[in-house]
Amino acid sequence: MRPIPEFKIGPIPLLSAIRFARDPLRFLRQGFDQCGDTFKIRLFREFIVTRDPAFFRHVLQQHHKNFKKGNSVKLLRPVLGNGLVISDGDFWLRQRRLVQPAFHRERLHELFATMGELTAAFLEELEQFRGKPAVDIDAKMMGITSDIALKTLFGNMNTEDKEQIYQQVSRTQTYLVTRVRKPYRLPLMAINGEDRRFKSDLAYFNSLVYDFIGKRRLSGETPNDLLQLLLDSKDEETGEQMNDEQIRDEAITMFAAGHETSATGLSWLLWELAAQPDIVARIRKESEIFDNVPGFEQLIQMPYTRQVIEEGLRLYPPAWTMTRESTVDQEIEGYGIPKGSSVFMSIFELHRNPNLWNNPGAFNPENFQAETVKNRAKFNYLPFGAGPRICIGQQFALMEMQLVLAALVKRFDFVREPGATVGMHPQIVLKSTNGIKLYVR
């Protein structure tokens, strides 16, 4: 077996950990430039880092049973409980079977009407910013995707609760990412109020969700939302249903996994399109088939818009990395991978791997022309992961992004501020460094 090259910037692992925490994308790029598509690195512990599609295929599909979710994802457990993103083994499989029917095509078709109504209202809201100073696009996209997530999940929710949730989600993410990347700050967080704040945010959120579940069980109503599907779903063999805690975990998981990812994807797309008038013109041409917002059946008649979205998810994959832990000694691509190894799969680098893509840094929707896609190996492009744990919300997200993007581009011009640049700042999702601001015209 061949040894895995090690990426080292000096004798002290803490230095690497600090450099990684400061700018993970740059740091990992240096590793790939120096060592090739797979290397190991010692941060607080050792990771095997890869952008090799054969590795992704082995871990996610061919030998997925030899892996479990990595330690870093487990740090989300206080929030996500034992929901799909976190759980493993038989429990995960049972939950996946229970939740899967909520995302069947007919169900999505039903949820689409809600998405369309919210998008139409969002267009009116954005009208107020036409011709005004540049708008915080990240905040606006978070607004529409969390409105969609909350309403498709829970039905109606009052504005005060919604506002609370927006703020708490962003605080909670910063808190959790800090705990993972800067463990040396843990003692400080215990005394400076950050731990307390996190606990009170979580308690508020839990009481809100349990309240929704309780009221729904009592109401006897069966509206068409994801909560109801979770409440109704039954194990085909045993007839067993989920208890309140499992429903809470799956509902929060869907909310957490499902809104910031799409919001970030949309923000990056609007940023790119602000510099791509030819692509905008082609989207507008396709958008002639609808008036205000597209209908469900019309999405399929807008293949170019779909290509643009897929290219956005290539260049700026919101879920920029996946991690797994090896549960057995095994061999991948000639490398020995001992039991207990942490494998860090960079989707960001897979999608920009110069061995797989021509001119990988350029935004080029032709990468997703039907013929090109047919000739490309499946594991070169994985914005939603792959194998049995592929994103359960993939079709939901693609449909939502296509709806919102087409409606926005048809109605408005988005323009960059003179000289504006944005950097990438990967948290749990791939955010921008200082936010994306654009004029709405």
Which lies closer to ligand HEM via its Cβ, residue 38 or residue 87? 87
**Shortest Å, Cβ 288 to ligand HEM:** 26
Instruction: Verify binding: residue 116, ligand HEM, rule CB under 6 A.
Output: no
**Residue 251 binds ligand HEM, judged by CB under 6 A:** no
Among 4, 319, 403, 440, binds ligand HEM (CB under 6 A): 319
Candidates 7-15, 169-177, 256-264, 292-300: pick the segment binding ligand HEM (CB under 6 A): 256-264
Among 172, 253, 346, 367, binds ligand HEM (CB under 6 A): 253
Amino acid at 157: M
Residue 122 or 439: which CB sits closer to ligand HEM? 122
State which of residues 41, 84, 403, 438 lies at the interface with ligand HEM (CB under 6 A).
Answer: 84
Nearer Cβ to ligand HEM (67/439): 67
Bridge-based pairing state of the strands 430-432 and 424-426: antiparallel
Binding of residue 258 to ligand HEM (CB under 6 A): yes
Q: How many CB atoms lie within 10 A of CB 152?
A: 26
**Whether the Cβ atoms of residue 137 and residue 126 lie closer than 8 Å to each other:** no
Question: Regarding beta strands 330-332 and 335-337, do their DSSP bridges make them parallel or antiparallel, or are they unpaired?
Answer: antiparallel
Kindly tell me which of 81 and 318 has the beta carbon lying closer to ligand HEM.
Answer: 318
**Which residue's CB is nearer to ligand HEM, number 286 or number 400?**
400
318 binds ligand HEM (CB under 6 A): yes
CB of 245 to ligand HEM, least distance (A): 16
Residues 353-412 that bind ligand HEM (CB under 6 A): 383-385, 389, 391-393, 396-397
Q: Kindly state the smallest distance separating residue 70's Cβ from ligand HEM, in Å.
A: 8
409 touches 283 (CB < 8 A):
yes
Could you say whether residue 96 binds ligand HEM (CB under 6 A)?
yes
CA-based end-to-end distance of the chain: 59
Residue 426 touching ligand HEM (CB under 6 A): no
Per-residue binder mask for ligand HEM (CB under 6 A), 267-306, x = binder: ----------------------------------------
Please identify which residue in 265, 294, 312, 426 interacts with ligand HEM, judged by CB under 6 A. 265
- Cβ proximity to ligand HEM: between 16 and 173 the closer is 173
Could you tell me the smallest distance in angstroms from the CB atom of residue 34 to ligand HEM? 26
Q: How far apart are alpha carbons 441 and 430 in whole angstroms? A: 27
Judged by CB, which is closer to ligand HEM: 49, or 189? 49
* Dihedral over alpha carbons 327, 333, 335, 337 (to 10 degrees): -10
CA gap 152, 254 in Å, rounded? 10
Closer to ligand HEM by Cβ: residue 157 or 420: 157
Q: Are 261 and 397 in contact (CB under 8 A)?
A: yes
Q: Interface with ligand HEM includes 150 (CB under 6 A)?
A: no
Q: Give me the residues that bind ligand HEM (CB under 6 A), please.
A: 84-85, 96, 253-254, 257-258, 261-262, 265, 318-319, 322, 383-385, 389, 391-393, 396-397
